[in-house]
Amino acid sequence: MATKRKWGNSMLVWTSKSSTDLAVKAVATRWLASGISKPVWWVVSLLPAAWLFYAAASDNLGANPAEALIRSTGDWTLRALCLVLAITPLRTVFGIPSLARFRRMAGLFVYFYAVLHLLAYAWFDMGFDLVQIAKDIAKRPFILVGFSALVLLTPLALTSFNRAIKALGAKRWQWLHRLVYGIAGLAILHFFWMRAGKHNFAEVAVYAAILSVLLGWRLQRYLVAKRR
């Protein structure tokens, strides 16, 4: 039976209290808190990279392997970004606190795929010519926007460890990690700009909608908390 329930002290959510739902939640919570869940998450997060590596080595990336590698790593960066931003809403709405254990790892995988994406571009499009790369960043606005997103991701990745959190202090760390909103905006702009030449916006719209819902959820919670 669905019931309206107060969640924490900030918002109302609908939760299902059927015994099946409770059992599923209990199993998910126990599994996510277990020792095996982190290695499994780690391996699953590496699967796209492993598949791309295998497909490249076995010549299975289609007619333009370089383009396929650059685009696929870009897509996986964006998907990883959506996933990391979904963790807190999922944890709160479904009441699964143990999901928080995966936030850092999920964040680092965003960075991992972003760096692979940059390396694929730098290698296959630019032959690792740093001068040409700098000229391209200055010349093509969509590359500049993607590069800015990666630059902003760097302090987040570097400060995702306990020692950095301690050194910065929780408040400053939290402020710094709000950069993720700007990164999400830049990532969508980068994708939009890249597709603008082809007037192909369907996928861009899907990712923009997902990120808007995830960021809108946080904004709504922030505004409710501020009003109290």
For ligand HEM, the binding residues (CB under 6 A) are 67, 70-71, 74-75, 77-78, 81, 114, 117-118, 121, 125, 143, 146-147, 149-150, 153, 187, 190-191, 194
Q: How far apart are CA 31 and CA 37, in angstroms?
A: 6
Whether 50 and 63 have beta carbons less than 8 Å apart is answered as: no
Residue closer to ligand HEM (CB basis): 170 or 202: 202
Phi then psi for residue 61, to 5 deg, are -105, 15
Give me the least distance between CB of 183 and ligand HEM, in Å please: 6
Give me the least distance between CB of 61 and ligand HEM, in Å please: 13
Q: How far apart are CA 161 and CA 197, in angstroms?
A: 40
Give me the least distance between CB of 103 and ligand HEM, in Å please: 17
Q: How far apart are CA 184 and CA 77, in angstroms?
A: 11
Residue closer to ligand HEM (CB basis): 32 or 70: 70
Residue closer to ligand HEM (CB basis): 21 or 75: 75
| CA-CA-CA-CA torsion sign (160, 165, 169, 171) | positive
Give me the least distance between CB of 62 and ligand HEM, in Å please: 13
Whether 150 and 190 have beta carbons less than 8 Å apart is answered as: no
Residue closer to ligand HEM (CB basis): 93 or 126: 126
